[in-house]
Structure 1
Amino acid sequence: MSGSHFLSALRRTLGLGRKQLKVDSRHVVLITGCDSGLGHSLAVYCHDSLHMTVVSCCHNLKSEGAKLLQQLSTSRDGESRMHTLELDLLKTDSIQLIHQQLKDLLSRNPEYQLKALVNNAGVMCFGEFEWQLPEQIEMQINCNLLGTMRLTRELLPLLRQQQGRIINVTSHCGLQALPAMGPYAASKAALRFWTNSLRVELQQYGVEVVNFVPGSFVLDSNIAARQQQHADKMRQAFSEEQHALYDSYFESFNAYLKILSGFKAPNQLKNESLLAKFKDAVTNCQPLSIYIEEPWRYRLYRWLFGICPTPLVDWLAVRFCAMPTYESTRKQST
């Protein structure tokens, strides 16, 4: 590490020189996963409260969330500040098209600066590892981790040239793995460590990289909207032995999760603490390496996970999830 990098790291550690920079319509932020939930809320917040120019990437431009974003047509010199584009992180041509559309936007407006890439898009599938099908496991790894890497790699030259920053939305599951969420937790933990590596690599080029860990918004988004369809596929793939062992437990498990299924209308999260941390991640000249938003229950459990021996951590993880277990289902049936 060079002397200048060491001094910068020391100042960051001591909290020296941290100040928020004013952003306006000249500053562009690209956010993925804006159809609903956190991504939709952050796109609206950046547009309405921070007055930035927003490139909101949705998986489906016909979704209700995409249509609501398209209605935000505040203009400056005839140029809308909300640009809603379609993005599929599993398709290279879709990622390349987003790159070209972003370059075109910046080219049309030479005063624009790409301020941040917010990698928020993700998918989730609940189920014990033995239940989940290979395509369900690969879907979570491919979208949450590899898709985020593909998009970031595509946009890195622009981010480097314009001194933009990367904000990767990870998860509490990346800090502590939970039962019935193994592949999802694996994707988020991998994303967390890749973020750490990327942060060190890109500091020398003036590109900040941030790990943003929000609280759980699974009930406010569509990240698990297809849970029952996923469960049906799992059940159909069971062997006779698995049916005999799991059926009662599997039924209780997925009955508990029915509240997650079905596509919900997009809403705007009113969590002021979360939005304040996000604003700091976007606008601070020296952002923190990690921002964690959590209720007191999450904070307590995370502290206990860090100090307890493994058997107790395992017991606490089950208590934290509060979902049906094989043993609890057997007790109910006897």
Structure 2
Amino acid sequence: MALPYGLPQRCLQAVVACWLISAVLSFVSGGCSLVLFAYLAVVALPAVAIYSFMNVDPATKAVLVTGCDSGFGHALALHLHDLGFVVFAGCLMKDKGADTVKQLDDAGKDTGRLITVQMNVTSDAEVATAVETVRANLPPSIKGLWAVVNNAGFSTFGEMEWVPINVYEMVASINLFGLIRVTKGFLPLIREAQGRVVNVASMLGRMGAYGRSPYCATKFGVEAVSDCLRMEMKKFNVDVAVIEPGNFIAGTSLYNADVVKAQSKRMWDGMSDEIRNAYGQEYFDQKTEVMLSYTTAGVSDISPVVNAMTDAVIRVYPRCRYQPMALYELFKICVATHLPEYVFDAMFL
């Protein structure tokens, strides 16, 4: 049997906490820090292990996942279905008969536990219809909706002077306001189940990145909304978890070379002559090439993200934040959030 997600890290955190507590107590009381550490560790490590193995029964739970046409959402919907959950897969392209949606429909044919739902998260009408579809198709034995995984997202690039305001608005309408719209629509069902909301943010929700302000702004917003909602939902025993993936562009279809080239052309064509002259074609093309290189960079195996999402859904007591990313990316966030800005700029800009 595979170890629960994050068990080694949780055990390491417990050991560090025990050591710090024992050091403080020994300093105050004059006792032996090694003995105190041993006592604390004997209690803490089994408790962490027990906590890590406490899962809900998937056969009694239903989950909604948005953005299931491809990438993380598609993989997560299939994985949760395999575990035994009733899965409602929100798909933007369901009404257009997309092949990936047909794959989900085929996977759920025999069990009846994987149901695709047309959902454009920017549409009030489609989200409202999705809520009623979920209500109508919940099995009688299942109370409410155990989890909403807000995975749908969109990405773009460009320096602020290059990006039209309507593009900022469009990215926000999907990544931020779409997430809020879906969450508000399904919260009554989530409260009924005393379940959880799982929001997909990004490492770029914790730090800025050159030429990514439209995306970063929305993911910072997701972080803030999630923190506020976590506080507000405690009285209903509803959890809120945030997933902060690192660079998995190579493993998803969210961003590819054709998308970057199309976005680049629209930006250049939409600029005024003044802005074009200020930056120059050569500089603009260089930045486009950098963005093109990102489409094949990073990790192509998306299983760390899917596993983190799954843990947030299946764990009785989920973490508040999951960070499936490389150590370098964790280090970069640490520098961005804990050291002066000039240090970050000198190291990474």
- By the TM > 0.5 criterion, same fold? yes
Q: 1:277 to 1:240 in 2, by over 3 A?
A: closer
After TM superposition, the structure 1 = structure 2 runs for residues 93-108 of structure 1, keeping only pairs within 5 Å, are 93-106=125-138
Aligned to 2:87: 54
Q: Distance in 1 between matches of 2:262 and 2:307?
A: 36
Aligned to 2:29: none
After TM superposition, the structure 1 = structure 2 runs for residues 96-245 of structure 1, keeping only pairs within 5 Å, are 96-106=128-138, 109-113=139-143, 114-225=145-256, 226-245=259-278
Over residues 199-229 of structure 1, what are the superposed CA-to-partner deviations in whole Å (9 max), with x where a residue is unaligned? 0110111111111112222222232353322
TM-score under structure 2 length normalisation = 0.78
In 1, are the aligned partners of 2:75 and 2:306 still within 8 Å (CA)?
A: no
Q: Identity, % of aligned pairs?
A: 27
Q: Say which of 99, 104, 108 aligns to 1:73.
A: 108
Secondary structure at 2:104's aligned position in 1? Answer: helix
Q: How many residues align?
A: 294
Aligned to 1:326: none
Q: Rg bigger for which structure?
A: 2
Matching residue's letter, 2:329: Y
Asked whether 1:254 is paired with 2:288, we answer yes
Q: Say which of 67, 74, 90 aligns to 2:122.
A: 90
Matching residue's letter, 2:283: Y
More helix by share: 2
Q: Distance in 1 between matches of 2:294 and 2:121?
A: 23
CA RMSD of aligned residues (A): 2.3
Per mean C-alpha deviation after superposition, the further-off stretch among 63-72 and 128-137 is 63-72
Q: 1:66 to 1:204 in 2, by over 3 A?
A: same
Structure 2 unaligned regions, length at least 5: 1-16, 18-43
Q: CA deviation at 1:273?
A: 4.1
Q: 1:179 to 1:239 in 2, by over 3 A?
A: same
Q: Distance in 2 between matches of 1:139 and 1:27?
A: 33
Q: 1:104 to 1:157 in 2, by over 3 A?
A: same
| Structure with greater contact order relative to length (CA < 8 Å, sep ≥ 6) | 1
Structure 1 unaligned regions, length at least 5: 1-12, 262-268, 319-334
Q: Distance in 2 between matches of 1:66 and 1:260?
A: 27
In 2, are the aligned partners of 1:25 and 1:81 still within 8 Å (CA)?
A: no
Over residues 36-80 of structure 1, what are the superposed CA-to-partner deviations in whole Å (9 max), with x where a residue is unaligned? 1111111111112x221111111112333212211102534xxx1
Q: CA deviation at 1:271?
A: 4.8
Asked whether 1:25 is paired with 2:81, we answer no
Per mean C-alpha deviation after superposition, the further-off stretch among 295-304 and 191-200 is 295-304
Matching residue's letter, 1:240: D
TM-score under structure 1 length normalisation = 0.81
Q: Distance in 2 between matches of 1:214 and 1:297?
A: 13
